Amino acid sequence: MEFLGLYNYWVFAVLLMTGMYAVISRTNLIKKLIGMTIFQAAVFLLYISMDKVEGGTAPIIQADLPGQLYSNPLPQVLILTAIVVGIATLSLGLAIVVRISEAYGTIEEDEIREMDGE
């Protein structure tokens, strides 16, 4: 039973590190951006897992059911904002990758470093 109560958080840990692994070990810039997306999604999972209440339902108040338990609406508001901000940063990152590709001809990080003469 311990397992079921904590499974969400373990999946969060694994996803977080999978995304981080993609960011730090892959040299392709688009792969790094996708890894960042996975990292963000893991954080969303953590917050939304915290908002669930046993026996609750989505926080839309129905007037004809007075004794109903509702799940916590506050993390949902935070994550709604975070999802849209995540896609804004993803699109900016992709625009920068496109410009880098046009300037250097490649999107592999080590080749770009070599061309810059580091």
For residues 54 and 116, which CB has a smaller minimum distance to another protein in the complex?
A: 54
Q: How far is CA 83 from CA 40, 45, 48, 103, in A?
A: 8, 11, 12, 30
Nearest distance from C-beta of residue 23 to another protein, angstroms? 9
> Quick check: 43 binds another protein (CB under 8 A)?
no
3-state secondary structure of 115: helix
Cβ-in-10-Å burial (0-12, 13-18, 19+) of 35 comes to: buried
Give the one residue of 36, 43, 48, 113 binding another protein; rule: CB under 8 A. 48
Distance (Å, whole) CA 54 – CA 56: 5
Nearest distance from C-beta of residue 117 to another protein, angstroms? 20
> Quick check: 62 binds another protein (CB under 8 A)?
yes
Number of residues binding to another protein, judged by CB under 8 A: 82
Site string for another protein, 11-40 (x = CB under 8 A): xxxxxxxxxxxx-xxxxx-xx--xx-xx--
